[in-house]
């Protein structure tokens, strides 16, 4: 029997079939972008299912055929940042709490990361215990392009990627396909997109491992494995300026292209992102990193680059942001340190990090 619970404009559909409960992000025209009510609805459903002995696992997927989720509602963030409101910091507080809940979920959490999975979409999928990508997957944390910094636990995930691959993806915002998502630890399994409907249906009657055995395949070749030498060398530099110098001088065309991409991003966001990743490596559990990301995100709300970046990329679409400061050299250490300043009572507190709960297969 299927139970359908109406939600905020039905932007999150919740159904239960057999042993599986399904979350479907249902804003296909907006590439399933997350709103605050959607985040609260997902949390409500997950909390109920965690306590329901009839639910053996949770499956999250996106409506339509373009992707799981393109991230948060950027236009709403722009309006809030422009007018100095608090709606966005309230949204992030609940969104990051949801990211932590997913990472510690006591039942298998199966994320179908088909098509576009960016920003907040990574947050509701890549912290899950079973993360499936397809030949259509494009996984990215593209925040530096709008004057923002990877969040939703993205700096935690990318700081754990092999070598300096995470630094490359975070600073350039480059999307990765299935093989590279697997290499970077953003996904666990490759399944052809055509097999996803059958896989999702079979999860209602069989355990995850049995269903995966039938459908997991070898992904098409990726690009990052063969680029490890120049990526690891260039991005290990001490500063963003030195990273650019190494990329431009190492003689590899892809490295030069990466430098040009990086130089098109917000210089402040690039430097804060680099600092965020390196601090994340030392912070340990996801909860501590999410707390840091909340400080950084709230600081970015009052930065001119976030409003300008969204204007250029999303509102006016002229693709010519005027960053302030305009160059990496002009972004001073004190400018970066401001993003990490303690927030006092306004900060996010996720409590003591739990050890990962045993997932029952």
The residues assigned a catalytic role are: 72, 120, 143, 151
Of 110, 97, 111, 89, give the one whose Cα is nearest residue 152: 97
- Reference 141, options 273, 321, 337; nearest CA is 273
Distance CA 223, CA 26 (A): 32
Contacts (Cβ under 8 Å, ≥6 apart) of 95 = 34, 36, 39, 72, 120, 123, 152
Q: Quick one: which H or E segment has residue 68?
A: strand 67-69
Distance linking the first and last C-alpha atoms of the chain: 23
Cα–Cα dist 293/122, whole Å: 15
DSSP 139-171: EE--GGGGT----TTHHHHHHTSSTTHHHHHHH
Residue given tokens 């039938």 in the structure block: 214
If phi > 0 it is left, if psi is from -120 to 50 it is alpha, else beta; for residue 315 that is alpha
């Amino acid at each position: 029997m299927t139970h359908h619970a109406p939600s905020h404009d039905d932007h999150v559909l919740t159904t239960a079939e057999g042993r599986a409960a399904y979350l479907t992000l249902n804003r296909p025209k907006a590439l399933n972008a997350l709103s605050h009510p959607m985040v609260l609805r997902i949390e409500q459903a997950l909390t109920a299912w965690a306590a329901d002995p009839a639910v053996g696992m949770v499956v999250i997927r996106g409506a339509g055929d373009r992707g799981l989720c393109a991230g948060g509602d950027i236009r709403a963030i722009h309006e809030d940042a422009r007018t100095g409101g608090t709606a966005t910091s309230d949204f992030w507080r609940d969104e990051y709490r949801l990211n932590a809940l997913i990472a510690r979920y006591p039942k298998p959490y199966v994320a179908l990361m088909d098509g576009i999975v960016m920003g907040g979409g990574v947050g509701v999928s890549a912290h899950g215990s079973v993360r499936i990508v397809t030949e259509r997957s494009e996984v990215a944390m593209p925040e530096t392009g709008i004057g923002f910094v990877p969040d939703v636990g993205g700096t935690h995930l990318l700081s754990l990627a092999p070598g300096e691959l995470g630094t490359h993806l975070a600073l350039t915002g480059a999307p990765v396909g299935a093989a590279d998502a697997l290499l970077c630890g953003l996904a666990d399994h490759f399944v052809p997109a055509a097999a996803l409907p059958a896989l999702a249906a079979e999860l209602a009657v069989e355990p995850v491992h049995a269903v995966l055995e039938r459908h997991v395949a070898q992904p098409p070749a990726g690009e990052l494995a063969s680029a490890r030498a120049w990526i690891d060398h260039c991005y290990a530099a001490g500063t963003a300026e030195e990273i650019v110098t190494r990329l431009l001088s190492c003689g590899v065309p892809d490295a030069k292209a990466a430098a040009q991409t990086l130089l098109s991003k917000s210089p402040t966001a690039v430097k804060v992102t680099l600092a965020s990743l390196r601090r994340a490596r030392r912070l340990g559990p996801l909860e501590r990193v999410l707390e840091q990301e909340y400080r950084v995100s709230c600081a970015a709300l009052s930065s001119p680059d976030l409003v300008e970046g969204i204007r250029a990329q999303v509102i006016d679409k002229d693709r010519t942001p005027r960053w302030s400061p305009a160059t990496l050299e002009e972004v001073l250490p004190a400018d970066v340190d401001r993003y990490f300043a303690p927030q006092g009572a306004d900060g996010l507190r996720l409590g003591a990090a739990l050890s990962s709960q045993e997932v029952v297969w």
